[in-house]
Structure 1
């Protein structure tokens, strides 16, 4: 009997949490203006040493917001947003800097990106051979 009461309470709280915000949306008038003319672009970028995102130890995280203006804790937010706009938000399309030479010392560095880019959900992870290689790709995006 106790488990049934717990499940009922959990289900009720979950329904309230999920459906509660939806009730206000049904009351909004059809002529109401949108809160912003820009699709949201807010990302959390992390970096850490390890061979993949699951086993890597996170060492640093920054936020990056690109709409309507570049902001966040990313040290080069404007440059990072410009690079991402240039690739349409495709992190795999970020090109390495042509004048950077890196050693072949293998000390893997993982970068992850979670968030929203122009209204679409983003989840990205990439392992670089070392920190120099991470900094060479997307000079503004991954250099934090």
Structure 2
């Protein structure tokens, strides 16, 4: 009888040792070694994102490979890397290097960027005086 009790106890301990870790919730490993960089860009006419009429939205993923619905995801990710994620610098990144003249018409265009950049949550909004200024002074990331 003692022998049977010892086998039963050994079996119970072995079962607990093997199945115990399997019954606890496993922590999911990250899908990649790179911090997430997935952004949603929107644009619309209006002075703020709250009052703007949305016109277009694109996605941009700058993790290990670039992807998304942005027309030029490689260039957009390169510009974000160039400013080291400082989204405020994107609005004046080019500074009208093409020398294209713009009218002084005030028809505001607001651009928003929301998502995560290198693992940090971002929520950015910038208003340009008109579309021409957005295209000539703003980064190519805003050209969508």
Instruction: Look up the SS of the partner of 1:27 in the other structure.
Output: coil
Is structure 2 residue 54 aligned with structure 1 residue 55? no
Aligned residues: 117
Structure 2: 5+ residue stretches without partners? 1-23
Q: 2:77 aligns with which of 57, 76, 81?
A: 81
Contact kept in structure 2, 1:97 and 1:139, CA below 8 Å? no
1:135 offset after TM fit, Å?
A: 1.4
Number of the residue aligned with 2:15 = none
Is structure 2 residue 67 aligned with structure 1 residue 71? yes
Structure 1: 5+ residue stretches without partners? 1-25
Contact kept in structure 2, 1:43 and 1:113, CA below 8 Å? yes
Instruction: Look up the SS of the partner of 1:83 in the other structure.
Output: helix
1:27 offset after TM fit, Å?
A: 2.4
Number of the residue aligned with 2:127 = 127
TM-score by length of 2: 0.75
TM-score by length of 1: 0.75
Number of the residue aligned with 2:37 = 41
1:118 offset after TM fit, Å?
A: 0.3
The change in CA–CA distance for 1:103 and 1:38 in structure 2 (over 3 A counts) is same
Q: Following TM superposition, where does structure 1 have runs of at least 4 consecutive aligned residues deviating by more than 3 angstroms?
A: none
Number of the residue aligned with 2:26 = 28
**How far apart, in 1, do the equivalents of 2:142 and 2:79 lie?**
11
